[in-house]
Structure 1
Amino acid sequence: MTKLLPTSTAGSLPKPSWLAEPEKLWSPWKLDGDVLAEGRHDALRLSLTDQQQAGIDIVSDGEQTRQHFVTTFIEHLSGVDFEKRETVRIRDRYDASVPTVVGAVTRERPVFVDDARFLRSQTDQPIKWALPGPMTMVDTLYDAHYGSREKLAWEFATILNQEAKELQDAGVDIIQFDEPAFNVFFDEVNDWGVAALEKAIEGLTCETAVHVCYGYGIKANTDWKETLGAEWRQYEEIFPKLQASDIDIVSLESQNSHVPIDLIELIRGKKVMVGAIDVATTDIETPAQVADTLRQALQFVDPENLYPSTNCGMAPLPRSVARGKLAALGAGAALLRAELQA
């Protein structure tokens, strides 16, 4: 990117109510067959238009073609039985019924590549595509085959690398790996989590990002945040390892969070997607509030490395709220950009 302060979203945007039940994660599709395929691409185009009208520079699919940022990818892999379900604790935070790994996991065919080609055909802007990270994939399953979170993560890293290379060939400019599990399992992150992530980006020539946040604005996550105290210092445990990694961009949560802004110093030299939009509230930020958050971050990241973004995905929010927040992000970045270029 040559534009100063290029804006993007961290992940999902709300789906139209005719496609899936609004304001809900894992919402079932309201269409099926060829009509569903067409509807998902229609929703992707609407999402793209919303981003463009808001002044978002690096656009995405808004995750319109998937039900969930992790499980939709896993659904396309062999070795995972979605009928055989077990209850596990997701990120040590809440219980969920999840599918079971019953054999060797493999990727028989591309998962998101056709959708990425479609997005590429709709715009000349830089595009970003999000994939689940290896550790977060492991944490969203019950393993009855490998007997080791690390072994399973390495298998997923190999599969993700295959998918990422084909996404790159389809014209994706930035491939982002979502790793909310990095904010919980610090020993594993440092022992093998970052190494598995580097396996997932091996051989890529496009830019790569890792998104580490405090989660969607759902009750399980907001309740957890209430237990974290006045300062959220989780990033302190993982940023040194990420700073030394081959990942180009680190995406983090900042707006309305209790993350000390100076923790960004620990990833000095990396490009930083600073979350300047709170996804856990329906209150819409003002451009001035967005600009202020970004201005604080500039103490610890050079302007050419600052990428304004959202804290996390916005799938559970009303569409009108998400559009307002996108507009605030675009306008707030423009305010600060004008200051810096004056």
Structure 2
Amino acid sequence: MDPVARHDHQPDVSFDGGDLDCGNGLLLLIRRHIDPLPRGGLLEIRSTEISVDEDLPAWCRLTGNELVSWTKVAKQRAFLVCKGRLDEREARRPPTARAPEPVPAEAPRARVPVAPPPVPPLAVTGMGSWPRPRWMIEAMHAHVEGRLGEAEFQETANDAVRLAIAAQERAGVDLVTDGEQRRDSYASFVASRLDNCQLIPLTDLLPLVDHAEEFEAELRALDIPAGDVRHPAVFGPLRRSRPLVAHEVDFARTVTRAPVKVALPGPYLLTRTMWMECISDHAYPSREALAEDIVRVLREELAELMDAGAAIVQFDEPVLSEVVFSGPKSKRSFMCGALSESLGPEHELGFARDLLNAVLDGASRDRTALHVCRGNWTPDEAVALAGGYAPLVETLAAVRTGAYLLEMCTPRAGEMEVLAALPEEARIGVGVVNQKIQTAEAVEAVAARISRAIDLFGRERVLLHPDCGFATFADNPICGGGLAEEKLTVIARAVERFR
């Protein structure tokens, strides 16, 4: 597209990006201004950086937005971008931008610590996520984009949580979760709760990746909806001015008498996710410096969760599998950390171990857990990682946690016997149904897996669950709510034989 003398349409919002290029903050500024606009809204981006001439049209193509026109006077450029297509713009009146709601800094809550109900042996639990109703997903997108206020969003989410917990209770679980109904995904949601962090679509990051077209093709091959999945971007020092998930526990405890489990992304996962050259290195000098703040934030959250009455706080670290089962000769895996650096298995496993132990230091072991799987973004088993726990068990055993909740039903996870090397005082959570399979397992088959786990670890140590969550990403659930309930029901029926 050639430049024009002036735009034929008036922008609804304008901002000046100065000499920033797309890899050094301009895309973040674009996302912050375009998200609150309705479909058909017009954003003007002023820039003096020559590389934007090529990069911005490419970004528009990748994200499904329309470059309407651009002007050039000496070094000064002005690009007019429509959110979506220009023909979506209302003919009767121009749309007006709604500024994102400021997130109020919340004063630390003065809590009276709550003692949770005990988690019995052979407890049945979901891993964390539960399929969201369509209206919940729509509310989530509107909230992230600044079109739905905080109070309205939370009220909508409360209704979705009530439905998720009711389904788990009907299935007969012993340890409930809120289904992660308020989250866009199991991990990236943290960006919407932390100060100086922002959720941006994965497509926005493609210009920052070497060979972006190849990477985009890989995402398609891995069945990843890059336009729907959002990724956290750090643009300043991380601060926790409000809870990450303690509010989830607060509400869940009002609608159930069962013990409540809550999952958090682990510190290694968050570090691998958030550290991206050309973005986070403007706020932090190194990955290790970013990790220090992530550990601090998670320690603050863990302390509040303990006081809030969470029976188990689970840290998710699936990227540990990517460290040992993915390599230069292997297919790329999508673990939400696929865009960040990795310095080799020995270094990364030690780094992850130290970060986890720093977060867990001083916490009650019997109320913490670690979850590991091999990828849960698609029901297609062929694109997930495969390999037994042998390369991981030494690292897992060195983490000071009270329970390990592990993918075990799928043949990709290897043999259960290797888990006998984990600390004897820790509980072992065994995946006994595969959430990727689109039919419920037979009670007999699940009972056989439970029997094997009891033989290996003793009934007092065993917890039972699906291999992973039912809806890791809100927009891309692994299965429907009916099937999720049916799978948990099968576990509950099978375990009755051992009680």
TM-score (normalised: structure 1) = 0.86
Determine the C-alpha separation between the residues in 1 that align with 2:376 and 2:418. 21
1:262 — aligned with what? 417
Give the CA deviation at 1:50.
0.9
Determine the C-alpha separation between the residues in 1 that align with 2:378 and 2:198. 27
Q: What secondary structure, in the 3-state scheme, does the structure 1 residue paired with 2:428 have?
A: strand
2:373 — aligned with what? 213
Instruction: Specify the code of the residue in structure 2 equivalent to 1:115.
Output: E
Quick one: which of 234, 243, 251 aligns to 2:397? 243
Give the CA deviation at 1:107.
1.2
1:86 — aligned with what? 205
Quick one: which of 126, 136, 141 aligns to 1:19? 136
Determine the C-alpha separation between the residues in 2 that align with 1:112 and 1:298. 33
1:28 — aligned with what? 141
Determine the C-alpha separation between the residues in 2 that align with 1:165 and 1:69. 20
Determine the C-alpha separation between the residues in 1 that align with 2:348 and 2:312. 22
2:436 paired with 1:280: yes
Taking structure 1 as reference, are residues 306 and 36 closer, same or farther at Cα in structure 2, changes over 3 Å only?
same
- In the alignment, is the contact (CA less than 8 A) between 2:140 and 2:182 conserved in 1? no
Alignment of 1:53-68 (within 5 A): 53-68=170-185
Q: What secondary structure, in the 3-state scheme, does the structure 2 residue paired with 1:19 have?
A: helix
- In the alignment, is the contact (CA less than 8 A) between 1:198 and 1:246 conserved in 2? yes
1:332 — aligned with what? 494
Instruction: Specify the code of the residue in structure 2 equivalent to 1:39.
Output: T
TM-score (normalised: structure 2) = 0.60
Q: Per-residue displacement from partner, 1:179-217 (whole Å, max 9, x unpaired)?
A: 101112242443221111122222323610010011215
- In the alignment, is the contact (CA less than 8 A) between 1:286 and 1:332 conserved in 2? no
2:253 — aligned with what? 120
Determine the C-alpha separation between the residues in 1 that align with 2:492 and 2:379. 28
Determine the C-alpha separation between the residues in 2 that align with 1:44 and 1:297. 31
Taking structure 1 as reference, are residues 252 and 122 closer, same or farther at Cα in structure 2, changes over 3 Å only?
same
Greater length-normalized contact order (CA 8 Å, ≥ 6 residues apart)? 1
Taking structure 1 as reference, are residues 57 and 188 closer, same or farther at Cα in structure 2, changes over 3 Å only?
farther
Alignment of 1:93-112 (within 5 A): 98-112=231-245
Instruction: Specify the code of the residue in structure 1 equivalent to 2:419.
Output: I
- In the alignment, is the contact (CA less than 8 A) between 1:198 and 1:245 conserved in 2? yes
Determine the C-alpha separation between the residues in 1 that align with 2:381 and 2:191. 22
Determine the C-alpha separation between the residues in 1 that align with 2:437 and 2:189. 26
2:317 paired with 1:198: no
Taking structure 1 as reference, are residues 82 and 318 closer, same or farther at Cα in structure 2, changes over 3 Å only?
closer
Quick one: which of 459, 463, 471 aligns to 1:303? 459
Determine the C-alpha separation between the residues in 2 that align with 1:120 and 1:210. 22
Give the CA deviation at 1:102.
2.5
Instruction: Specify the code of the residue in structure 1 equivalent to 2:141.
Output: P
Give the CA deviation at 1:53.
1.1
Give the CA deviation at 1:151.
3.2
Determine the C-alpha separation between the residues in 1 that align with 2:321 and 2:438. 24
Structure of larger gyration radius: 2
Determine the C-alpha separation between the residues in 1 that align with 2:142 and 2:433. 28
Determine the C-alpha separation between the residues in 2 that align with 1:189 and 1:298. 32
Structure 2 unaligned residues grouped into runs of 5+: 1-117, 210-214, 324-344, 472-476
Taking structure 1 as reference, are residues 221 and 152 closer, same or farther at Cα in structure 2, changes over 3 Å only?
farther
Instruction: Specify the code of the residue in structure 1 equivalent to 2:192.
Output: E
2:6 — aligned with what? none
- In the alignment, is the contact (CA less than 8 A) between 1:236 and 1:266 conserved in 2? no
2:450 — aligned with what? 294
2:187 paired with 1:77: no
Instruction: Specify the code of the residue in structure 2 equivalent to 1:255.
Output: C
Instruction: Specify the code of the residue in structure 2 equivalent to 1:166.
Output: E
What RMSD in Å do the two structures reach over aligned CA positions? Answer: 2.7
Q: What secondary structure, in the 3-state scheme, does the structure 2 residue paired with 1:281 have?
A: coil
Identity percentage of aligned residues: 27
Determine the C-alpha separation between the residues in 1 that align with 2:285 and 2:455. 45
Determine the C-alpha separation between the residues in 2 that align with 1:104 and 1:32. 26
Determine the C-alpha separation between the residues in 1 that align with 2:186 and 2:461. 26
Structure 1 unaligned residues grouped into runs of 5+: none
Determine the C-alpha separation between the residues in 2 that align with 1:297 and 1:147. 46
Taking structure 1 as reference, are residues 287 and 217 closer, same or farther at Cα in structure 2, changes over 3 Å only?
farther
Instruction: Specify the code of the residue in structure 2 equivalent to 1:46.
Output: L
Q: Per-residue displacement from partner, 1:75-94 (whole Å, max 9, x unpaired)?
A: 211232445952468xx986
1:224 — aligned with what? 384
**Matched positions, count:** 326
Determine the C-alpha separation between the residues in 1 that align with 2:119 and 2:380. 39
Taking structure 1 as reference, are residues 82 and 2 closer, same or farther at Cα in structure 2, changes over 3 Å only?
closer
